[in-house]
Amino acid sequence: MDFSYIQQSLPLFVRAFGVTLRLSALVIIASTIIGLVAAVIQHFRTPVLSQFFAAYEELFRNTPLLIQLFFLYYGLPSIGVKLSAETCAVIGASLLGGAYMAGGFLGGFSGIPTSQLESARALGLSQLQMVRYVTLPQGLARSVPALAANAIFLVKETSIFTVIAVPELTNTARDLIGMYYRSDEYLLTLVIGYAIILIPLSIILTLLERRVRRGTFAR
Amino acid sequence: MTDASTPLLRVTDVCKSYGEHEVLKNVSFSVAKGEVLVLLGPSGSGKSTLIRCLNGLEDIQSGSIEFEGNTISGRKEKDWRELRTRIGMVFQSYDLFPNLTVAQNICLGPLKVQKRDRHEVEQQMNSLLDEVQLSEYRNSYPRELSGGQKQRIAIVRALAMNPDVMLFDEVTASLDPEMVREVLELMLGLARQKMTMIVVTHEMEFARRVADNVLFLENGVVVEQQTGEEFFDCPSTERAQAFLHSMSPIDSVD
Amino acid sequence: MAPLLVESAASGAQVLFLGDNFSRLLGGLGTSLAISGLALLIGLPLGILLGSLRIVDNWVLRGILRVYLEFFRIVPTLVVLFLFYYILPREMGIQIDGKTIAVIAFALWVAAEISDVVRSGLISVPDHQIETGKALGMSGFQLLWYVRLPQSINLMIPAVLNLATRVVKTTSLLLLISVIDVVTVGQQIMETNRMAHPDAAFWVYGFIFLLYFIVCWPLSMIAKALEKRAKERNRD
């Protein structure tokens, strides 16, 4: 192992690290918004929209991100829609992430004991008040571990952006390996790059799960 | 003590603590063959912990537990396994295995642990089920049974191992009131058949009828040790009097 | 604009059925499925073993197995594939083709994930169920076999099916380690027809998207149904 190679390419990796972080953040935020909207609509069984979002979830949960990206990046231009690689990456991963996040939120909502909803109704709360004071606060708390797990999953999925040449961590490592034939050095840097983002996230997830299991979090 | 020979179970100076917290302090008593001992006391007095120690589900810090004259406390898990086939135990939460039918629940221990003959085990199961009038539920799953029925099956499951002593840990505590009776009657029947039993309960009428002897615990200490009649009719300590008063039906409080 | 779109759409879609293109695409998918199947076949028993060991009362063993799991949790699967692709042949000193590397990497990944599924299934069985088993005199292995496994298998099967769909979806990455999979075949077809059908990408990728959906969706549906049933069943 020749560390001078790592040292030399460190600026490139730092930039790539920034790209991975930035895109991950964008994707996680967009996914959470899509997921929350989809989950609320399905939780209240809004006609038509509910079925639409259910179909959307099934479609994106059961197909690979790589194919979604190829379709957006190479397929869409042939019908006249041209998007930049980064835009395709964020759209693709957010649609995928939204489908997973919706599942996380729905799981949280459905975990609220019926007795809670019945007590709310017994107090005379309106549908909207129930959402505001019972469903959302309790459901969101219960969703947190699933959402954190999805966030970790999405950060890892950004590695697939390499296939449409987004200059994130994996892409940078592959380029460097192709140029200098030093796989050990660059793979090590690559793994460390992901570890810096994912180990803290993973520890947070474990703590959150423990709190929810002990019941101190979701009450 | 009705029997002068070696008691079936003898507990001497047992101490048990969770960290700093002492749950049992120098508890001693013995149970003769065919005797029914009832453990009474306010919640948190250590009754359940004590009965769990007798089956090796909890470790003790000092003292000894003897079964037929042999010390069994401090033994390895492997020895306890052997012993548990002779010491039956029924819990508050019934704990039938939800994935097995009633018949499978009952036969599992005798067949797989004791490795007894299937034909003989099934015969015993049939007569036990007849006795508790639950034969028709042989192939039902636990979820199809009422709480009282589940608890009676749990008792049958323990009996099918042919234990020398039965431990009952608040077995009616999570039952609906109308189902308590069928379970208690089954236990009274066992007592009449001279089954050795150690019972933790909050049902005072039942305790009075079933108990040969009573052990009254408070804060992990044996406060009073009496025959059943004496304990209920003229408890000697103030603590026991107060306890009995607190447990008496409301209309007699005056 | 509209007629043009329809016309080009029709011509692009033709590519799929030109010559033996259709069966070539299915063949590519077959490779991916075979690799998934093999990886599951090897990873499943290994994962069950590792998962059962993770509830053993030995913190060194538990620690090692936990690190093994966390490695696969933290490193993206694509990077795991690259690690095996670059390092394995060199360390072994032999040529290993992409398919074998994929099977090995996926099998170890599957084993890690399954070990966690098995562990959380086993510990989900309530303590008092275990105590009842003990009170019947059961040994450690009997507790595992008669109490823990049967009561958690209902939860494990859906998780395994969901993992299977993840493995199938992840096979889409195989083209990056030079395995001729359905995507590679698709790219070859587009290359050949680049002049006649410049819009083939839309149809070919759309079709591959559909193929993956057809394979994964039923698995997810079965998993969902089983999960629902398991929840109802385990309410004693």
In this structure, what CATH number is given to the domain that contains residue C9?
Answer: 1.10.3720.10
| Å between C137 CA and nearest CA of chain A | 30
Segment C102-122, tens digit of pLDDT: 999 999 999 999 999 999 899
* Cβ count within 10 A of residue B100: 18
**Mean pLDDT, chain B, whole residue set:** 89
Bigger pLDDT: A122 or B90? B90
Among A68, A159, A184, the residue with its CB nearest the CB of C76 is A159
How many domains would you assign to chain B? 1
- Tell which of A67, A154, A186 to mutate to test the C interface (max C CBs under 10 Å): A67
C9 to chain A, any CB pair closer than 8 A? The answer is: yes
The pTM score is: 0.79
Q: Do C131 and B81 touch (CB under 8 A)?
A: no
Query: Are B221 and B25 spatial neighbours (Cβ–Cβ below 8 Å)?
Result: yes
Q: What confidence tier does B13 reach under pLDDT thresholds 50, 70, 90?
A: very high
Is there a contact between C128 and B93 if contact means CB atoms under 8 Å apart?
yes
Its domain, for residue C84, covers: 2-233
Residue of B nearest to C131 (CA): B57
Whether the pLDDT of residue A89 is over 90: the answer is: yes
| Average pLDDT value for residue range B225-237 | 89
B79–chain C Cβ distance below 8 A for any pair:
no
Determine whether C35 is exposed, middle or buried from the number of CB atoms within 10 Å of its CB (0-12, 13-18, 19+).
buried
Which of chain B's residues have a Cβ under 8 Å away from the Cβ of C151? 97-99
- Chains B and A touch, contact meaning at least 3 pairs of CB atoms under 8 angstroms apart: no
In CATH, what number is assigned to the domain containing residue B35? 3.40.50.300
Residue C205 at interface with chain A, using a CB cutoff of 8 Å: yes
Q: Which of A79, A190, A195 sits opposite C5 (nearest CB)?
A: A79
Q: What are the pLDDT digits (tens) for A90-145?
A: 999 999 999 999 999 999 888 888 778 777 777 777 777 788 888 888 888 889 88
B137 DSSP 8-state letter: G
> What's the pLDDT band for B80 if we cut at 50, 70, 90?
confident
Q: Say which residues have a Cβ less than 8 Å from residue B188's Cβ, sequence separation at least 6.
A: B206, B209, B210
pLDDT score for C11:
63
Predicted pLDDT of residue B246: 87
Residue B21 in this model has a pLDDT that exceeds 80: yes
How close, in Å, is residue C129 to chain B by CA atoms?
Answer: 6
Q: Which residues, in sequence order, are bridge partners of residue B66?
A: B10, B71
CB within 8 Å: A78 and C198: yes
CATH match of A3-214 with 1.10.3720.10: yes
Residue B45 within a domain: yes
Tokens of C132: 């009842």
Domain that holds residue B69: 9-97+164-252
pLDDT of residue A213: 63
Give chain C positions within 8 Å (CB) of B109: 136-138
User: Between chains, do C209 and A68 touch, taking CB under 8 Å as contact?
Assistant: yes
Cα torsion for B146, B152, B158, B162, to the nearest 10°?
-150
Q: Is B92 helix (H, G, I), strand (E, B) or coil?
A: coil
What pLDDT, in 10s, does the model give residues B95-147?
Answer: 888 888 999 999 998 998 889 999 999 999 999 999 999 999 999 999 899 99
B179, part of any domain: yes
CB contacts, 8 Å: A160 with chain C: 76, 78, 173
Q: Is residue B112 part of a domain?
A: no
* Residue B127 belongs to a domain: no
**Residue pLDDT, tens place only, A3-16:** 888 888 889 899 99
Judged by CB atoms closer than 8 Å, whether chains meet at A71 and C205 is answered as: yes
What is the β-pairing status of strands B9-18 and B87-90? unpaired
C128/B109 Cβ within 8 A: no
**DSSP per-residue codes, chain A:** --HHHHHHHHHHHHHHHHHHHHHHHHHHHHHHHHHHHHHHHHHTT-TTHHHHHHHHHHHHHTS-HHHHHHIIIIIGGGGT----HHHHHHHHHHHHHHHHHHHHHHHHHHTS-HHHHHHHHHTT--HHHHIIIIIHHHHHHHHHHHHHHHHHHHHHHGGGGGGGT--SHHHHHHHHHHHH--HHHHHHHHHHHHHHHHHHHHHHHHHHHHHHHHTTTT-
pLDDT greater than 80 at residue A209 = no
Q: How many domains does chain C have?
A: 1
Residue B167 has pLDDT above 90, yes or no: yes
Tokens of C171: 């096979």
Position A214 confidence tier, pLDDT thresholds 50, 70, 90: low
| pLDDT tier, A215 (very low <50, low <70, confident <90, very high otherwise) | low
Does C87 contact A at CB distance below 8 Å? Answer: yes
pLDDT reported for residue A216: 44
Label residue A218 by pLDDT band (50, 70, 90): very low
Is a pLDDT exceeding 70 seen at residue B2? Answer: no
CA of C154: which chain B residue's CA is closest?
Answer: B99
Average the pLDDT over B89-96 and give the result. 88
Taking the C-alpha atoms of residue C91 and residue A204, their distance in angstroms, rounded to an integer, is 36
Using CB atoms, list chains with 3+ pairs below 8 Å to chain A: C
List chain C residues with pLDDT less than 70.
1-12, 233-236
